[in-house]
Amino acid sequence: MKHLPTHVEGLDTFLGGGLPEGSLTLVTGPPGTMKSSLCYALLHGNALAGVPGLYVSLEQSRGSLEGQMRGLGLPPEATAGRLTVLDLSLLRERMGTQPPAAWMDFFRMYTQSFQEGLKYRLLVLDSLDALEILARFQDHRRAFFRLARWLRDLQVTCLLIGELPRGRSEEALSRHGEEFLVDGILHLDVVPQGEFSVQRRIRAVKMRGARHALDVQTLVFDGRLRVMRPLS
């Protein structure tokens, strides 16, 4: 199976070469674990290498997201238009009294139209939880099954961001069992180190088509984002 490099230092080695092309990966964890930053960095690195990507934001505005990423050393203008942020948070005001089901139609329509123009090979959805709330999923498992099937039909590599409450057991990696319908799971967490410090951790719970490492790694930002062995 072909792999798409992440261009995040240490992550490709950790994943056994990168993300399997065409895979659907759930990036999950509590707030503050840099899920969005990691996914954006992956798109940014690939865009610099000539691989187009689309970041779909349902909550954070494009300006806010791009400003945050500039602070991490990931300026959008450096990608020469190969990384596009689709800000669907603006639709909340425009939709008015539209039924919740229309959110799925809008998401599919915009995502499909950008594929025809941008021809992106990487897609990030931020986040599954926001889409669930906006579309008011009744049968969550069935709704996600249909979403996953539609995303696979796009024939691109997808990263789906999912939020978990702090203190949630790692045995439950999603709110509604999404982990059983994806090809890969990257679980991010924050672990206390002593009395006054914490470390961000990352683990590949599963990754079909990849010989990934099973041990826990540290996700570090010290001027650049990288994955390395846990710091003592």
Return the pLDDT at 101: 73
- In the predicted model, is pLDDT for residue 168 greater than 60? no
- Rounded to an integer, the average pLDDT of 187-202 is 90
* 39 half-sphere exposure, CB direction, 13 A CA radius: 33
Least Cα distance to 53 among 63, 44, 62, 61 occurs for: 44
The residue with greater pLDDT, 97 or 83, is 83
Which range has the worst mean pLDDT, 44-58, 123-137, 171-185?
A: 171-185
CATH class of 3-228: alpha beta
- In the predicted model, is pLDDT for residue 152 greater than 90? yes
Share of the chain above pLDDT 90, in %: 68
Which range has the worst mean pLDDT, 93-107, 111-125, 167-181?
A: 167-181
Structure letter (DSSP) for residue 9: B
192-227 exposure pattern, b = at least 16 Cβ within 10 A, e = fewer? eeeeeeeebbbbbebbebbebeeeebbbbeeeebbb
Domain boundaries, the chain: 3-228
